[in-house]
Amino acid sequence: GFRTIEEQNRLYALGRTKPGRIVTNARGGYSYHNFGLAFDICVCNVFKGTLIPSWSLDRRWFRVGQIGKSLGLEWGGDWKSFKDYPHFQYTFGLSLAQLRAGKRPP
C-alpha cells in the first residue's frame, strides 16, 4: 500500500486540476499510504474462472470491513465525511503530523 508523495499528489489532482473523478481527499504527506501504513483492497466476482473487480457497494464490503477491524485495522468504510470502503490502515497510534515530522512506528 505504499504510495509516494508524488503519486499521492497525482491522485489528488484527479477531478481537480486533471481530468477524472476525485479518488482521494488527501494531498501528498496527508495519507497513511505515504508512510506504508495503509492499503486498499478490492472485492471481486468470478466470471468463467476469472476474477473481475466489483466496485459496487454490497454486503461483501461490510463483511471485509468487519474482518479488517477484527484484526485491529482502521477501516475507511467507518469514516464520516468520505467513505473509503477499500481502505484499511494501521497507524500505531501515530498522527500524520508525527509521521511527517519523522516519527516512525516501532
Q: Name the pLDDT band for 82 (thresholds 50, 70, 90).
A: confident
Residue 76, domain extent: 39-90
Tell me the three state secondary structure of residue 103. Answer: coil
pTM above 0.85, yes or no: yes
Q: Answer yes or no: is 31 within a domain.
A: no
Q: Answer yes or no: is 80 within a domain.
A: yes
Contact between 19 and 48 under an 8 Å Cβ cutoff? The reply is no
Number of domains within the chain: 1
Q: Which residue has the cell 466489483?
A: 54
Q: Answer yes or no: is 13 within a domain.
A: no
The pLDDT score that the predictor gives to residue 22 is 92
Q: Answer yes or no: is 99 within a domain.
A: no
Q: Answer yes or no: is 71 within a domain.
A: yes
Q: Answer yes or no: is 29 within a domain.
A: no
Q: Compute the average pLDDT of residues 77-86.
A: 93
Report the distance separating Cα 33 and Cα 57, nearest Å. Answer: 23
Q: Name the pLDDT band for 81 (thresholds 50, 70, 90).
A: confident
Contact between 28 and 6 under an 8 Å Cβ cutoff? The reply is yes
CATH of residue 68 = 3.30.1380.10
